[in-house]
Chains A and B, each alone.
Chain A
């Protein structure tokens, strides 16, 4: 199975900060990388698909980049509603989808 490793596992930041979360795959996955946001008690929500494409309705302060094994999710200016847990997920080795362990973004 392809292993997905996120860093950091948790992060404290302030409203207005620029934040970057990293996801690394154990082998090349081309650009088949998706990012999800999950708030407490809620289901995950798709933010970014195919590494860099913004899902409809997602604010433009979210962006994704990367290819091969290394990927990043960037939030350009943190808003109060962005404090949540973020997961990466590979869709290269379908249907053996695998997720990162998550990055919890907390208010500083």
Chain B
């Protein structure tokens, strides 16, 4: 069964740091680009960051560039998001998702992990 399971979401103060993890199973992890998407009631769904299958290229939304770092460990079939210099506007439900290489659609999502940035 194809599965993505996120973890690591907590309450953190502004300026703090956090690392999210996403454990993948049921597919050849290293063959696929993976990404993080966040969701808030106000801004809806927002793409955050993407990493290609071998980890050699990464991309970031302008809103997180310079503060967040995406990485992956294909030997552990895991995806990560290091979140530094957190702001209140980073408060959201964070999903990891698998990108279909042909259609570029997100064909598998995790259940999400909630990050709250608040003093």
Q: Which residues of A contact B (CB under 8 A)?
A: 32, 34, 36, 42-46, 49-50, 53, 55, 87, 89, 91, 94-102
Q: Known contacts A43-B95, A43-B110, A43-B111; decide if A96 and B47 are in contact (CB<8 Å).
A: yes
User: Among B24-32, B75-83, B97-105, which stretch is in contact with chain A?
Assistant: B97-105
B104 touches A91 (CB 8 A): yes
Query: Does the CB pair B104–A101 fall under 8 Å?
Result: no
Q: Compute how far the CA of A57 lies from the CA of B50 in the bound complex, rounded to whole angstroms.
A: 26
A49 to B45, CA, bound (A): 17
The 20 sampled A-B contact pairs (Cβ below 8 Å) are A36-B106, A42-B111, A43-B95, A43-B110, A44-B106, A49-B105, A50-B103, A50-B105, A53-B103, A87-B44, A87-B45, A91-B105, A95-B35, A97-B35, A98-B47, A99-B45, A99-B46, A99-B47, A100-B44, A101-B44
The residues of B with any CB-CB pair to A shorter than 8 Å are 35, 44-47, 50, 59, 61, 95, 100, 103-107, 109-112
Inter-chain contact A91/B103, CB cutoff 8 Å: yes
Query: Given that A95-B35, A95-B50, A95-B59 are contacting pairs, would A46 and B105 also be in contact in the complex, using a CB cutoff of 8 Å?
Result: yes
Contacts of B109 in A (CB 8 A): 43-45
A99–B47 CA distance with the chains assembled, in angstroms? 8
- Say whether A34 contacts B105, CB under 8 Å: yes
A95 to B103, CA, bound (A): 13
A32-B45 in contact given A95-B50, A95-B59 (Cβ < 8 Å): no
Q: Are B103 and A102 in contact (CB under 8 A)?
A: no
